[in-house]
Chain A
Amino acid sequence: MTPGLIYAVTGLLLFVIGAAGVVLLAHALRKILAFNLMGSGAFLVLVGLAQRTGGVDPVPHAMVLTGIVVAVAATALALALVRRLHVLQVELHAKDASVAETEDA
């Protein structure tokens, strides 16, 4: 087993673990972390497999860099959404609670 193939198989494993996490975990933050694991797995496959030919191939490196930029942007958007959702839900609960209080009084 060449080092390139080891990286690729590890990447595949990481991808599967991450994908399972996105589907199975309930908490939104964990889902986002799992997505990042998934992405890293795909990047590892890309870099690992492309090294099998011997020389260093710059094209997959460029792809992975682009992919990382996309993943960072997507993670930022997901985190912003989670935060907004949290704030809105807290407001909603507060409103419900105050309505319940006035009804009690």
Chain B
Amino acid sequence: MPDSLFASLFDPLPWLIVLPLAWASLAFLLGPGRGGRLAITSLALQLLLALSLSEQLLNEGARIYPVGGWGAPLGIDLAADGLSALMLLLTQVVGLSLAIYARAYFAAEASAAATWFWPLTGFLLAAMNALLLAADLFNLYVTLELLGLAAVGLVAAGGGAAQAAAALRYLLVSLMASGAYLLGVALIYATYGSVSFATLTPLIAAQAPQAVWLAAGLMLLALMAKTALFPFHFWLPPAHGGAPAPVSALLSALVVKASFYLVLRLWLGGFAPLGAAIAWLPGLLGAAAIVWGSYQAIRAQRLKMLVAYSTVAQMGYLFLIFPLLAADGLAFQAGAMQAVSHGLAKAAMFAAAGVLIHATGQDSVRGLGGVADRVPLTLFAFALAGVTLMGLPPSGGFLAKWLLIDAALHQGQWGWVILVIGGGLLAAVYVLRVLRQAFLPAADASRFHPVPRLMEWVAFGLAAASVLLGLRGIELIALLGVGGTA
């Protein structure tokens, strides 16, 4: 049938994985200059694919794509619903913006990382897209490993001993977590003889022996470690704070979201009957993450460490939703909105931090005096991203926190409301700390380096998107509703 052949040739689902794999391999051969141009072109194409997929989903509902025509259980299925489409859109938007940023960044700042940045980023994005489209537990294991290996490579590509040490620590945490996840998969397979989401969900709901509880515990713990949830956050600040700015932005905006997406998917899917009993645990750890991450961000001496600890705090909000998940879907929407708005805001913040560090030639918060005169656009971008992190209207962060508070009030759980508002105040403290320094007079006006305008505009664009996201909340929540996870 030529008609269906044509349709399957241009199906966005497989191309979202094949395209980044292809340009990653080509960028490896072409070198950073041409590789970067190729990456940007392909990422623009990927964004179009993700948009067309979202439109398909809105019109036709959730989709399943059997790779090569071999369906499960023999072959591999790809699945897409509203949640995966939303995360795919975030991935392509952040990926494209940061690719444009990175080209200007590496042109301005000679670094050994430039050679490896493009192929590793390509593999990272391919793994990310594959993870978001995976339909079974084992595929998720493979994509999770690929994502981890590419991320570790990007951290190490920075060059110095500190980066290599941070990368090694990150790798060991990541490998240990994947090992625990794999053991969970083994126990699940042994119990039910399947690893596909669709098959497992009714089976677990019907009967869950103790081995499944053990498996669920192992997998959840593994994914929490990968998401850097308190107290497993120790690997994140050195890894994210030490890498070059575009790498930090990619890792903080996207990679930690991948494992959160997985926790959410497992929790809402197969493990729903088990989750209710231990929902307080991720909630409490999330609360601790907000307090501890914010405290460390307020104390941080280095700008990028401040932003990295802010990631630890913001990941905490994502886990607050678990005790509040209910049939009304408010908490689910809050989690997805927080993931997307934090992704955009944190990419913007690390991009802005990269500009500030390049302009002042150092990365301490103290040395930021005078940047308000020199790079006002970037400072504005930093502040706008801060608005999203604090959760002020009309930002996406505001919408996420509003939904979360709404969910908490509906269930009469007042404690979470205080925490959400208090966390916003703590975020204001560390964001305003940077802004205050920036408006102080420069100690030595001659030390400023010129910054490519493009870098400034990308940081600004991402920050503006994170703030304006709140205005398009209805559309995003409509997309999120596709496939009935909400």
Contact = CB atoms under 8 A, between A and B. Distances in A.
B149 A77 contact: yes
A78 B167 CA distance: 9
Contacts of A45: 183, 186-187, 190
A56 interface: no
A105 interface: no
Interface in B206-239: none
Interface in B96-146: 138, 141-142, 145
B161 interface: yes
A31 B172 contact: yes
Given A78-B172, A81-B168, A18 B179 contact: yes
Contacts of B141: 67, 70
A46 B179 contact: no
Interface string A66-102: 1100100110011001101100110010000000000
A41 B185 CA distance: 13
Candidate in B149, B152, B164 with the most chain A CB atoms within 10 angstroms: B164
Interface residues of B, number: 30
A60 to B, nearest CB: 6
Contacts of B168: 28, 78, 81-82, 85
Contact of A92 (B161, B171, B172): B161
A83 to B, nearest CB: 9
A42 B183 CA distance: 5
B422 interface: no
Contacts of B171: 74, 77-78, 81
B161 A88 contact: yes
Interface string B324-351: 0000000000000000000000000000
B164 A81 contact: yes
Interface string A41-59: 1100110011011000101
A74 B73 contact: no
A57 B190 CA distance: 11
Given A66-B142, A74-B171, A78-B171, A84 B179 contact: no
Interface residues of A, number: 38
Interface string B148-162: 010011001000110
A23 B176 CA distance: 9
A29 to B, nearest CB: 11
B29 interface: no
Contact of A35 (B153, B179, B193): B179
A39 B179 CA distance: 6
A70 B145 contact: yes
A28 to B, nearest CB: 6
B18 interface: no
A10 B371 CA distance: 61
A51 B182 CA distance: 18
Given A22-B176, A74-B175, A77-B152, A42 B164 contact: no
A53 B193 contact: yes
Nearest to B153: A77
Nearest to A82: B168
B161 to A, nearest CB: 4
28 contacts: A12-B183, A18-B179, A19-B180, A23-B176, A28-B168, A35-B176, A35-B179, A38-B176, A38-B179, A42-B182, A42-B183, A42-B186, A45-B190, A49-B189, A52-B190, A60-B189, A63-B185, A70-B142, A74-B171, A74-B175, A77-B153, A78-B175, A81-B164, A81-B171, A84-B156, A85-B164, A88-B161, A89-B161
Given A39-B182, A49-B189, 13 more contacts: A12-B183, A19-B176, A19-B180, A35-B172, A38-B179, A39-B179, A45-B186, A49-B190, A50-B190, A67-B182, A70-B178, A81-B164, A92-B161
Interface of B: 73, 138, 141-142, 145, 149, 152-153, 156, 160-161, 164-165, 167-168, 171-172, 175-176, 178-180, 182-183, 185-187, 189-190, 193
The 4 closest A-B pairs by CB, nearest first: A49-B190, A46-B186, A88-B161, A85-B164
